[in-house]
Amino acid sequence: MLPSPNEITLEIKPRKRFDLIDIREQVSRKFDNFLDQYRKSYYCSYHTTAGYFEQSLCARLHHDRDNLTPFIRAFQKIFPSNANYRHDELKLRTELSEDERKCEPKNADSHLIFMSSGLKNCVKYENQPKMPVYFVDLDGVNGSGSRTRRTTVLGFNEEKTVSHVRFKVPVSKHPIDSINLRGGRSSLLEELDELIRRLDVCKGKVDISLPPDERNAGLTVNEYETLLMRHDLTEVLRNPVRFMAMQGKHMLLDPAAIPNKTINYAKYDLVQVFNELMDALRISESVVEKILTAFMRVPAARFFRMKRRISLPISDAKDPGRGQLMLGRYQSPILVQWKCAARQTRHLDVRIKKFR
């Protein structure tokens, strides 16, 4: 008889700001044969600057930290630390107290890397003996101390869809927009929690996806902070190399030429970044050229690895026998668009799945 789904939660202390931590190794060391009982695992991060890559991408990178590292480093060049991010102007962050401003990390670059590189808050893996599963932390150190991270690993054997519904989400008339699905204009999560209770799902997940006919939009789970969403992310969607350009080492040589010169430097650097990404993924030069050409023509749509599907965990760990959505304090499902939607409405397909 197959064991019932079960979960464990780990606390992690990263060693440096960007760190790769093998969660499977930690689970095996601390919980003996926990993963060996199950065919599949569901890995969840409760943070907005740390998460997981999908198993398919990690397979292309041979589940090797020496391949994952340059993949992330390429995005770090596009979003350098300490660029002119509005999110990092702490004096403008009205939600922070004076004490919080003293210890709040300047980490807009980590948020943008998380969203653009394809990192996810939750991923499903087929269990394979000795295959590493990396928790990717982009902001693991604040000042001189490591941050404490939490991740849950849920073991299961099968999943069954118990509900499939379609939700309408109102969006603005602006071509570039981001919608917080945790609050604000949307009551999506409240409706889902009620549906989960009615369906009696204790351990499982909610898959939220854009239908095939919803174009020029993506989904992510991140912090919905006004300056980050309304300024930094918007700037990236308009011009993905903006922050790379601002770090151009020749910026001060000819101030009058800064707008043109820096964008040229950034595009040159971008070629190097794409080469590094494609080397990591083992993609041919002809494909690199096609991607780069498409990127220059339609930046946001081609540049972002932002997903069309996100996943949220259902757990009864807090209230045994009563499942609910589990999100970190700052995590919000976010719908992002970079072109106007018809009738100022977008649709989301939602599937509630029960683990067995």
Place 102 in a pLDDT band, splitting at 50, 70 and 90. Answer: confident
**Residue 280, C-beta contacts closer than 8 angstroms, at least 6 positions apart:** 61, 67, 68, 70, 71, 74
Through-space distance between the first and last CA atoms of the chain, rounded to whole angstroms: 12
Asked whether residue 258 is assigned to any structural domain, the reply reads: no
For residue 128, pLDDT over 90 is answered with: yes
User: Residue 269: pLDDT above 70?
Assistant: no
Q: Is pLDDT above 90 for 17? A: yes
Output the pLDDT for position 24.
96
Give the pLDDT score at 274: 55
Interval 122-147 mean pLDDT: 94
Contact 317, 218 (CB under 8 A): no
Q: What is the pLDDT of residues 138-192, one digit of tens each?
A: 999 988 789 999 999 999 999 999 999 999 999 988 888 899 999 766 689 999 9
Q: What is the mean pLDDT of residues 203-224?
A: 95
What is the residue-wise DSSP string for 52-105? B--HHHHHHTTT-HHHHHHHHHHHHHHS-TTSS-GGG-GGG-TTS-HHHHHH--
**Which pLDDT does position 164 carry in this prediction?**
97
3 state SS of 203:
coil
Q: How does the average pLDDT of the chain come out, rounded?
A: 85
Q: Could you tell me the pLDDT band of residue 252, with boundaries at 50, 70 and 90?
A: very low
Report if residue 283 sits inside a domain: no
pLDDT of residue 68: 92
pLDDT value at position 143? 80
The Cα–Cα gap between 327 and 44 comes to 9
Burial of 57-84, coded b for 16+ CB within 10 Å and e otherwise, reads: bbeebebeeebbeebbebbbebbebebe
pLDDT at residue 291 in the model: 45
pLDDT bucket at 266, cuts 50 / 70 / 90:
very low
Within a domain: 343:
yes
**pLDDT value, residue 144:** 76
Question: For residue 259, what pLDDT band results from cuts at 50, 70 and 90?
Answer: very low
Please report whether residue 272 resides in a domain.
no
Q: Quick one: what percent of the chain has pLDDT higher than 70?
A: 82
Contacts of 192 (CB under 8 A, 6+ apart): 206, 312, 325, 350, 352
32, pLDDT greater than 60: yes
Is a pLDDT exceeding 80 seen at residue 245?
Answer: no
Average pLDDT over residues 265-273: 48
Query: Is residue 302 over pLDDT 70?
Result: no
When pLDDT is averaged across residues 241-262 and rounded to a whole number, the result is: 50
Q: How distant, in Å, are the alpha carbons of 55, 126, 301, 340 from that of 170? A: 33, 36, 21, 12
**28 token code pair:** 């095996």
| Cβ–Cβ under 8 Å, residues 123 and 53 | yes
Give me the pLDDT at residue 254, please: 43
Are 314 and 196 in contact by the 8 Å Cβ rule? The answer is: yes
Q: Give the model's confidence band at 297: pLDDT under 50 very low, under 70 low, under 90 confident, else very high.
A: very low
- Residue 111 DSSP SS3: helix
What is the CATH classification number for the domain harbouring 50?
A: 2.60.120.460
Length of the chain (residues): 356
Task: Map residue 213 onto helix, strand or coil.
Answer: coil
Question: Is a pLDDT exceeding 70 seen at residue 352?
Answer: yes
Q: What is the mean pLDDT of residues 117-128?
A: 95
**Rounded distance between C-alpha atoms, residue 109 and residue 112, angstroms:** 5
Q: Binning pLDDT at 50, 70 and 90, where does residue 261 land?
A: very low
The number of distinct structural domains making up the chain is 1
Smallest Cα–Cα separation from 352: which of 209, 187, 179, 151?
209
Can you tell me the mean pLDDT for 246-257? 45
For residue range 63-101, what is the model confidence (pLDDT) as tens digits? 999 999 988 998 898 899 988 899 999 999 988 999 999
User: Does position 210 have pLDDT exceeding 60, yes or no?
Assistant: yes
Which domain does 72 fall in, by range? 6-240+304-355
Instruction: Specify the 3-state DSSP secondary structure of 146.
Output: strand
Q: Does any domain span residue 270?
A: no
- Residue 248: both structure tokens together: 């151009």
For residue 160, the model assigns a pLDDT of 97
User: Is residue 118 in a domain?
Assistant: yes
| Contacts of range 262-266, beta carbons closer than 8 Å, 24 or more positions apart | 263/239, 266/241, 266/242
Domain assignment present for residue 287? The answer is: no
pLDDT of 294 reads 45
Q: Which pLDDT score, from 0 to 100, does residue 288 have?
A: 45
| Lateral strand order in the sheet of 6-12 | 6-12, 149-156, 40-45, 122-126
- Report yes or no: 279 and 70 within 8 Å, Cβ to Cβ: yes
Cα dihedral sign, 214-329-26-30: negative
Three-state secondary structure call for residue 187: coil
Q: Residue type for 310, please?
A: I
Residue 79 belongs to some domain of the structure:
yes
